[in-house]
Chain A
């Protein structure tokens, strides 16, 4: 939502032109000192693009924590400020920063930055974020005995919660799905609350999500039946957890919401390589913003995902652009493919690719996904590189889909920006990278005519 603020300031006319501004005048407009300091951090090339000015208007785009850069413009005759950021300050730090840049540039704002300018700032942010994340874990007592006791208590709590959940599932099977659908939201929410109390937040989230899906979806019965099946496997797997492999246990922990400590992960299972950024997805789940970055190692061909989270005032790391190549050492979390990873240190820019790595047909993507789903039933989405596909618009209420040379079709996910994708691709054959989520495809990057474009 673009907010507009206007301050009524007498317009000064000097020979027909708006009088030049000074830095002091800009600072006077700021709502408080905090806004000024915040603005000063943005007075550099890095986050800005597409900047320009007339003698009555200054504009530019500033990369912040949102998915797309914030569009900022200042009407110098007012002055009036427009910015698409969610801040409630008038004027926001982006508008102030833009004005400061304009003043510093003596009335013109030079056109700034290509993608490569992002990486150093991104790296700084990640390094500082990583160090703040590592610290709390290190604080968790050097006393091994106390720690072991805590883990023991946790396991007891979780086991009790899983037993409880297994009983709930059995009751559900006995009384029937139709009866479950009649239940109010409260019924699901109570179960979720008990799971949270038992240190099983991941399952709790799934239960709550299922409640709304059962109310909403036409194929709710199939969806719920498959869902309870997966939850049942989780209870059996937990009961038998000593017999699980490392990867299986790790997958189960992800499902249950029992996170691995970053410091532990950082210390093990490292792999260094040149990584191609395949695509990035940003989303908001409630008040938490999440960013998934998919990387593929040039040497190993392995595809991993880097997850970043931000809540409240914290800012997400600047997204890497699709097609960029990073030289970096990653540490991989235990689990099945596609594995989660994190950067051990800031990655180094190593250029970019004109095309995405070779992919395959839709059928091949399904076959690979089949292996991954069979190995880990709780995996939700798997990465897919599709070559030589066209995008076909949906007709008569049907969703849009991609179609490959074999003639196979794959419908697009409901949250895809279909018209933008069609506008960029036209009727041509292109290469797409995205996520295969159940039976839908979520496109994240397009590769055509020697450029890789993020969606």
Chain B
């Protein structure tokens, strides 16, 4: 046996004796170390002396582990962000001016500007920025190139940062969602591979992951799932099929819809929509299940039919375009609600636009592209009170364009309950208000005297401070890159 192995063996023996105590076991002396054991000393002192010798021998005699050398990593030539740009980045990362949301917005601006200038992050800030983007996924899309070769290499070493690379390193079983992003067919195949043996809970969860990359190609699996034993699985399948107007189920529901809708009148057309009768088993399978408590059964079935049928059926039945359909179906609350659900779920911009003409629904506006969404809001604010819509307005992503900002300020001026609206919007206004609307906001603050509206004044001043801070930082970031 080699000397180190001998020493280790002896030390194990000493430890064993030490654990139970010398009153019960004699400690072995390390003869191999060449030091004579102290004569005429009690066992406990022999143990202590042996421990001293052995401890030193082990520590001093330790040698490093040996392994094959690692692969060298290629270095890339990149230009780094520098000077004021880096100072501003550090400020954003470590000090969080304007709170978490403001910081996220400004960081995104920084990253897009840096990308446009083809510079990368200084190495020492990589861990902090990667941490931030792990917490706030909104930062991730633009970050790729700005991380640079070093940043991407670094991210590959930490499983928490695996979102950086498309391939997840070190994860042997890719999740369905991840796979769906790269190759939807493969993701579906993964779900199907274990379908027969998975528990109901697992089947339901796997099926709902097909939300990512959902397409008509998935309908066969979903159709099968309609007949599943588990109610949870069936519910998921129905929910997903509602979003596939080309599916066989949608066509079947269209067939149920047709006989219910009739068009009347020549000068002033109206649509008469009957309620469906008790569905047959096939209908139940297609989603016409028992209604939730308190709802009329036939109304519920109508809703399910309209929400699942293709929207293209309606122009055919009403013999008019989507805008016309929206107008004609407006009096029928059930149908209108179901149409809205279908249009939003399928992200059908044309139908959302059309349905908006017949009445306001914030989720319709939210589906439109940003410029249109904001224009829709301008219309809404002209018509209604801002205090009612303040909460929904806060969902409109900042920054707002000039038109919406001006409309919001004008609405605040008109509304006697403006204080409440400002309170609700306080955190968002600072980041969202366009620079051109700031003078109007200032005038609003000046007019809100301390005597009559102290809270409103305070809130507006806070908004003005945030706006100012946000815009100057935004501008400084743009100017900081050479």
Contacts and interface: CB of A to CB of B under 8 A. Distances in A.
Interface in B298-343: none
A179 interface: yes
Contact of B468 (A52, A56, A176, A233): A56
B18 A409 contact: no
Given A54-B472, A226-B51, A366-B62, A176 B21 contact: yes
B153 A426 contact: yes
A196 interface: no
A174 B157 contact: no
A174 B72 contact: no
B65 interface: yes
B472 A57 contact: yes
Contacts of B21: 173-179
Given A408-B66, A424-B124, A174 B23 contact: yes
B417 interface: no
Contact of A2 (B66, B84, B94): B94
Nearest to A13: B442
A396 to B, nearest CB: 8
B90 A71 contact: yes
Contact of B48 (A173, A175, A405, A427): A173
B69 A407 contact: yes
A420 B124 contact: yes
A103 interface: no
A408 B442 CA distance: 67
Nearest to A403: B70
B59 A373 contact: yes
A369 B65 CA distance: 16
Contacts of A29: none
Interface in B102-117: none
A73 B97 contact: yes
Size class of the B contact interface (CB-based, 8 Å): 35 or more
B75 interface: yes
Interface in A7-30: 8, 10-11, 13, 18
A55 interface: yes
Which interface residue of B73, B468, B473 has the most chain A CB atoms within 10 A?
Answer: B468
Interface stretch (B181-189, B251-259, B458-466): B458-466
A374 B60 contact: yes
Contact of A222 (B15, B60, B96): B15
B459 to A, nearest CB: 11
Contacts of A407: 66-69
Contacts of B170: 395
A423 interface: yes
A377 B472 contact: no
Interface string A408-427: 11100000000110111011
B473 A423 contact: no
Contacts of A229: 48-56
Interface in A189-234: 221-222, 225-230, 232-233
Interface in B24-63: 24, 42-45, 47-56, 58-63
A370 interface: yes
B216 to A, nearest CB: 42
A408 B63 CA distance: 9
Interface in B275-296: none
Nearest to A408: B64
B196 interface: no
A278 interface: no
A382 to B, nearest CB: 11
Size class of the A contact interface (CB-based, 8 Å): 35 or more
Contacts of A8: 458, 461
Given A222-B15, A420-B124, A363 B63 contact: yes
B391 interface: no
Which interface residue of B18, B91, B475 has the most chain A CB atoms within 10 A?
Answer: B18
Contacts of A77: 464-465, 468-469
A8 B61 CA distance: 66
B415 to A, nearest CB: 24
A13 B219 CA distance: 62
Interface in A329-377: 362-363, 366, 369-371, 373-374, 377
B18 A174 contact: no
Contact of A221 (B19, B50, B54, B95): B19
B145 interface: no
Contacts of B60: 369-371, 373-374
A342 B59 CA distance: 29
A248 B478 CA distance: 64
B58 A403 contact: no
B22 interface: yes
A170 interface: yes
Given A54-B476, A57-B97, A226-B55, A232 B48 contact: yes
Nearest to B16: A221
Contact of A423 (B11, B22, B53, B150): B150
A427 B72 contact: yes
Contacts of A174: 21-23, 43-44
Contacts of B55: 225-227, 229-230, 377
Contacts of A393: 157-158
A214 to B, nearest CB: 12
A317 to B, nearest CB: 24
Contact of A75 (B90, B458, B469): B469
Contacts of A57: 91, 97, 469, 472-473
B5 interface: no
Contacts of A178: 19-21
Given A395-B170, A422-B157, A423-B126, A71 B94 contact: yes
Nearest to B11: A222
B123 interface: yes
B19 A232 contact: no
B73 A426 contact: yes
A364 to B, nearest CB: 10
Interface string B249-281: 000000000000000000000000000000000
A84 B127 contact: no
A423 B123 contact: yes
Given A2-B95, A8-B458, A228 B469 contact: no
A439 interface: yes
Contacts of B56: 229, 373-374, 377
A11 B465 contact: yes
Given A225-B18, A225-B51, A226-B51, A423 B154 contact: yes
Which interface residue of B14, B68, B96, B157 has the most chain A CB atoms within 10 A?
Answer: B157
**A-B pairs with lowest CB-CB distance, top 4:** A427-B73, A176-B21, A229-B51, A226-B55
25 contacts: A2-B96, A52-B88, A77-B465, A77-B469, A84-B94, A170-B44, A170-B45, A170-B48, A171-B44, A175-B21, A176-B18, A177-B15, A178-B20, A229-B56, A362-B64, A366-B63, A369-B60, A373-B56, A374-B56, A393-B157, A403-B70, A419-B127, A420-B127, A423-B123, A438-B59
Given A50-B90, A370-B61, 8 more contacts: A2-B94, A2-B95, A11-B465, A18-B468, A173-B43, A226-B59, A232-B48, A409-B66
